[in-house]
Amino acid sequence: MTGFAYRDGEMHAEGVALSRIAREVGTPVYVYSSAMLRANYRAFADAMKGLDAEVHYAVKANSNLAVIRTFARLGAGADIVSEGEMRRALAAGVPADRIVFSGVGKKVSELRAALEVGIRQINVESRHELDMLDGVAGAMGKRTDIAIRINPDVDPNTHAKITTGKKGNKFGIDIDLAREAFAYAAGKPNLNVLGVAIHIGSQITDMEPYRHAIRRVREFVGQLRADGLDITRFDVGGGLGITYRNETPVPIDAFVGMVRQETGNMGCALSFEPGRRLVGDAGVLLGEVILVKPGVARTFVIVDAAMNDLIRPTLYEAWHDIVPARQPAANAEEIVTDIVGPICESGDFLAQKRTMTPLAAGDLVVVKSAGAYGAVMSSTYNTRPLVPETLVDGDRYAVVRPRQTYEQLIGADRVPAWLE
Ligand code: LLP
């Protein structure tokens, strides 16, 4: 009864028919499976047994409080990139000392907020940030633990927009400049330089780039120790890919096993920062077909879920599997269609030239593997209310973010006095 599967001809999330959620909550709507969230987390936890390591869930992938709390209950920490994400992690029950703050452009106010609650570690990405953080900590009479994110210059073989650890990316400090940066940090009175952090990219399906990066870090840590620094933490980042179409993801136990082997004699506590791998396949976006428009060149299936609800196809040319909620007959004919939203842009599509069984107005469609970077990247473009989210657990489900009302959406604007 786990995950998403057809039962009695209807797509279910665990024990709940998606048609029921569509009826009761309306569409478009995100649906998450608790069982899959837990199974994904446990795969990490099991693989890490005996290792001095923690999972800091990258909450940017799906920052709904119910999702974060599901992981927090299992012992997860959080990787955050903004004060907002910090507030979410805390509200969801992640202890402050299990929160790691990453990000290339943290503001003074955000650093202050992080020090106020006493988070575990700040991953610093530039010399300027070292100065800022040292100043903020000093003014508060505190000393803070940091890691420095380095850019190891490896190619993770993924989409350019989610490659982060190659020369020329804005993230981290170039490995060639990093030794100097660590020495500089060590001279700061309010910083406690404990670790090295990397994050080489996202949707990575090959283990070798990680291995290369880790070997570089291992050698680099040796240099830092020769310089007299006491490095005790290594944050390997996130980035593990999932199957959207036909990718073969790296098994979690093989990945953790590789990290265990490569870091065996490093003497560092490890941090993993998975996002997508924990939530991606645990969520779907459910939409309803508004109409079908046959054309000369193409047939368009127009659904009520659009690029404002799921922007990945538009932004990264991402492929998401789309299936009807009602199971098609095994021998049903298939046609080639575009599945698009109602938004006034040609870039508004969920799938192009997709071969699938024909759809008709009123049919429900299930956009799969949408649990990561789906709802969190949604917007209200075309004044469409923010998409709601639901969480299934066995035979029950709950709305974990209601659909925004028009009042909330439009009522948030203010007309200045001079226009009244
Ligand atoms: N740690 C850091 C410092 C990160 O920047 C990220 C993601 C992660 C961990 C988690 O990476 P994951 O395990 O989820 O791959 N919106 C894009 C993905 C952007 C990833 C940004 N950084 C997408 O929809 O594909």
pLDDT at 1 > cutoff 70: no
Nearest atom in ligand 1 to the alpha carbon of residue 164 is: 5
CA of 61 to the centre of ligand 1 (A): 7
Question: From ligand 1's centre to the CA of 303, what distance in Å?
Answer: 28
Q: Which amino acid does the sequence have at 231? A: I
Structure letter (DSSP) for residue 329: P
Closest CA to 386 of 395, 368, 374: 374
- DSSP for 199-249 reads --BSSB--SHHHHHHHHHHHHHHHHHHHTT----EEEEE--B---SSS--P
* Structure token pair of residue 277: 């791998």
Distance CA 389, CA 35 (A): 16
Token pair 């999932």 is at which residue?
A: 242
pLDDT for 190 beyond 60: yes
DSSP for 362-403 reads T-EEEE-S-SSSSGGG---TTTPPPPPEEEEETTEEEEEEPP
CA 342/CA 104 separation, integer angstroms: 35
Cα 172 to ligand 1 centroid, rounded to whole Å: 14
Contact 103, 172 (CB under 8 A): no
Nearest CA to ligand 1 atom 20: 202
DSSP code of residue 318: -
For residue 198, the surrounding DSSP H or E stretch is none
Residue 204 CB neighbours (<10 A): 27
pLDDT at 298 (0 to 100) = 86
| Other CB atoms within 10 Å distance of the CB of residue 332 | 11
Q: Which helix (H) or strand (E) holds 137?
A: helix 127-139
Residue 268 annotated in active site: no
Per the document, the length of the chain is 420
Residue type, 72: A
Q: What tens digit of pLDDT does each residue of 331-376 get?
A: 999 999 999 999 999 999 999 999 999 999 999 999 999 999 999 9
Q: What are the start-end ranges of the E strands in 224-310?
A: 233-237, 269-272, 283-294, 299-303
For 387, residues 6+ apart whose C-beta sits below 8 A from its C-beta are 28, 29, 30, 285, 305, 308, 309, 375, 378, 403
Q: Which ligand 1 atom lies nearest to the CA of residue 239?
A: 15
373 in contact with ligand 1, CB cutoff 6 A = yes
User: For residues 38 and 18, what is the distance between their CA atoms, to the nearest angstrom?
Assistant: 20
Copy the structure tokens of residue 272. 């993993």
Judge whether 297 and 259 are in contact, CB under 8 Å.
no
Average pLDDT over residues 25-31: 98
Task: Specify the residue with its C-alpha closest to ligand 1, atom 24.
Answer: 373
Q: Is the beta carbon of 32 within 6 A of some atom in ligand 1?
A: no
Give me the pLDDT at residue 69, please.
98
pLDDT higher than threshold 70 for residue 402: yes
pLDDT over 70 (residue 79): yes
Expressed in angstroms and rounded, the spacing between residue 238 Cα and the centre of ligand 1 is: 7
**CA-to-CA separations, 305 to 16, 18, 64, 126, 287, in angstroms, rounded:** 21, 15, 19, 40, 5
Tell me which fold the domain 34-278 belongs to: TIM Barrel (3.20.20)
Homologous superfamily (CATH) for 4-32+280-411: Lyase, Ornithine Decarboxylase; Chain A, domain 1 (2.40.37.10)
Matching CATH topology for 4-32+280-411 and 34-278? Answer: no
Cβ atoms within 10 Å, residue 294: 9
What is the structure's pLDDT at 226?
Answer: 97
Catalytic residue among 226, 296, 344, 419: 344
> Whose structure tokens read 């054309």?
295
Domain boundaries, the chain: 4-32+280-411, 34-278
User: What distances in angstroms separate CA 418 from CA 114, 319, 342, 410, one per listed residue?
Assistant: 40, 48, 35, 19
Q: Is the CB of 14 under 6 A from ligand 1?
A: no
Structure tokens given for 106:
């943290």
pLDDT tens, residue by residue, 374-386: 999 999 999 999 9
CA pair distance 228, 138, nearest whole angstrom: 23
Residue 160 has pLDDT above 90, yes or no: no
Token pair in block for residue 358: 């024909």
pTM of the complete model beyond 0.75: yes
Q: Render pLDDT for 253-306 as a digit per residue (tens, 0 to 9).
A: 999 999 999 999 999 999 999 999 999 999 999 999 999 999 888 899 999 999
Give the residue, by CA position, lying nearest to ligand 1 atom 19: 162
